Structure 1
Amino acid sequence: MEHVEMRNTIPALAIVIPCFNEEEVLPVTAPLFLGKLKSLIARNKIAPESCILYVDDGSRDRTWQIIRRLAKDAHIIGIRQSRNRGHQNTVLAGLMEAKDLFDITISIDCDGQDDLDAMDQMVDAYLHGYEVVYGVRSSRDEDNFCKRFTAEAFYRLMKLLGAEVVFNHADYRLISGRVLRELAEFKEVNIFLRGLVPLAGFESTSVYYKRHRRAAGKSHYPLGKMLGLAFDGITSLSARPIHTITSMGLMVSALSFVMIVWIVVCFCMGRTVQGWASTCVIASFIGGIQLLCTGVIGEYVGKIYLETKARPRYIISERTFEREDLL
């Protein structure tokens, strides 16, 4: 670790857990999260007022009812979004809710796949002076080939496009209240936290852990959603695809100019042969390039349209607590 200033105060921690249709997994993992929280409190790593903050992303099953029942414990609180707004907005809602109430937050999915013992290392790193601590998977051996290949290709592509992301890091991380208050100044509607957090700067480090299989239930992130998240991340953090389109357009234009010169020369030499193959190939190639470029540009225009509306990124409809009681 780099040399940073040690902290002497015991921080109040909020473990932020996004939930969407998790009625099967919550009864299994909730005792594990609570056990870890109480263990950290017992060893004086975090303050007694630390808690678990569940964020319901407009679930259609009994998830909110389960959260309300869990909130009978003094160390558990919950908030509910007015409708489903997606994983990234749900995590953000929890972080923004906690930023003025707690010293640090750790965001983690509720499926039990992330190693809870990594929290000890995260808190230790914070006490050593770090403001952000990333949870990074040490390997992807438990993933099938398709998921491993696409995930690693995504991180490499993001780096190639100039986006600052931590390789093999998802949304398991510790963030200090200081950093969260700065992140609150980022007003964009299209959220990709894996890229936004590094943009905030501050001292950071990583802890490495092995991911487990899901404790119960089914994943709510199929391939389609993963690809959507990847594309959102790319278009939210990097303008390089637009630059690539410009370069591609120049290249195709240059090739077309060479082709025109070649055709004129052949015509003047009387060597032209009428046929449809070359015409179809050229038309298809240029048409495909144009459609691809138009689609990418359209994505950026669509995001600009959403940003100009400045709609709220999340709306909290219910809480299991009164904020004034925690302030």
Structure 2
Amino acid sequence: MGDVLYIVVPCYNEEAVLPETQKELGNKLETMITAGAVSEKSRIIFVDDGSKDKTWELIEKYHSENPRIGGVKLAHNRGHQFAVLAGLMTVKDLCDMAITMDADLQDDIDVVDKFVEKYKEGCEVVYGVRNSRATDTFFKKTTAEGFYKIMQAMGVDIVFNHADYRLMSKTVLDALSEYKEVNLFLRGIVPLIGYKSDTVEYARKERFAGESKYPLKKMLAFAIDGITSFSIKPIRLITTLGVGALCASALMIIWFIIGAVRGNTVSGWATIVISIWLFGGLILLGLGVVGEYIGKIYMEAKGRPRFRVEKFLG
């Protein structure tokens, strides 16, 4: 008998794609159980992140028809990262390993077998990594790859082209439960845990149905959260800019003194205006970055629950 696998799938307004998702994942799990790759106690858990459509009703329906399909209903919408964490923390004592993936069928479910094979070889974490971005627009490809490069430049240990399609062993899940931060960025937290890891490459598909839950605005907010949650380099960058601005000001003073000695006393209104805008912009930028960190400290200090499970269909 193989180890127990739980597949955790966060959902938010996914009624359009859920029928096909539960069908394909159900078939995959049955095939793996029949082949002896995983235990017959393995399950698929859909996490309803406060959906406003019929997502939870569908999950209850599938659970009544197939005992291997379960669900976690959050009491309030908390966002993708918290939905993933809620599902993992709910099932961590019920499984030997857990795989997280999105509900839109863009992640290739056929590589689940490779995930499990890597786990059996001794890997505690297996990352799903995109082998190509051919299906992305030029803008999406450029910004996405730029995000990973910026994160790495900021000192964040992040796997390039990896989202949240990964396998984690129970050992890693127990370790993850000890990370209590409210500003959640799992792509940065999981590599921090350590243990033996490996990657599996796959081709990401087009979304099967429905609309993306990550428009540009949310993607930018996600990127900012990731950077400020794991690096203080933006604050150090502001310090560097401040020192540079101070040096530039000193040079300008010297230049004006030399000009006055030579008798060139014509007022340079353009220089004044440019200087005001430059230093005003630097000040506002600095206040914004510092404010971002202070806001995160404020959120962490309150210590509010990160999520609340309303129902669990296990």
TM-score, normalised to structure 1, is 0.94
Tell me the CA shift for residue 248 of structure 1.
Answer: 1.1
Tell me the CA shift for residue 261 of structure 1.
Answer: 1.6
Which residue of the partner structure matches residue 111 of structure 1? Answer: 104
| SS, match of residue 71 in structure 1 | helix
Letter in structure 2 aligned against 1:262: W
* TM-superposition CA deviations, 1:128-158 (whole Å, max 9, x none): 0000000000000000101000000000000
In structure 1, C-alpha distance between the alignment counterparts of 2:29 and 2:265, rounded to whole Å? 79
Which residue of the partner structure matches residue 213 of structure 2? Answer: 220
Which residue of the partner structure matches residue 167 of structure 1? Answer: 160
Which residue of the partner structure matches residue 250 of structure 1? Answer: 243
- Percent sequence identity is 49
After TM superposition, list the pairs within 5 Å mapping 1:1-327 onto structure 2. 10-72=2-64, 73-321=66-314
In structure 1, C-alpha distance between the alignment counterparts of 2:280 and 2:263, rounded to whole Å? 29
CA contact (8 A) 1:195 1:237 kept: yes
| SS, match of residue 45 in structure 1 | coil
Tell me the CA shift for residue 269 of structure 1.
Answer: 2.4
Letter in structure 2 aligned against 1:162: G
Letter in structure 1 aligned against 2:8: V
Tell me the CA shift for residue 272 of structure 1.
Answer: 2.1
Letter in structure 2 aligned against 1:21: N
Tell me the CA shift for residue 265 of structure 1.
Answer: 2.1
* TM-superposition CA deviations, 1:188-226 (whole Å, max 9, x none): 100000000000000000000001111111111111111
CA contact (8 A) 1:56 1:79 kept: yes
CA contact (8 A) 1:28 1:216 kept: no
| SS, match of residue 73 in structure 2 | strand
In structure 1, C-alpha distance between the alignment counterparts of 2:129 and 2:91, rounded to whole Å? 23
Tell me the CA shift for residue 268 of structure 1.
Answer: 2.7
User: Which segments of structure 1 move beyond 6 Å, counting only runs of 4 or more?
Assistant: none
| SS, match of residue 190 in structure 1 | coil
In structure 2, C-alpha distance between the alignment counterparts of 1:48 and 1:291, rounded to whole Å? 58
Paired residues, what number?
A: 313
CA contact (8 A) 1:137 1:208 kept: yes
Task: Indicate the RMSD between aligned Cα atoms, in angstroms.
Answer: 0.9
TM-score, normalised to structure 2, is 0.98
Tell me the CA shift for residue 74 of structure 1.
Answer: 1.1
Letter in structure 1 aligned against 2:59: I
Structure 1 alignment gaps of length 5 or more: 1-8, 322-327
In structure 1, C-alpha distance between the alignment counterparts of 2:62 and 2:263, rounded to whole Å? 85
| SS, match of residue 274 in structure 1 | coil
* TM-superposition CA deviations, 1:148-204 (whole Å, max 9, x none): 000000000000000000000000000001001011111110000000000000000
Which residue of the partner structure matches residue 4 of structure 1? Answer: none
Tell me the CA shift for residue 29 of structure 1.
Answer: 1.4
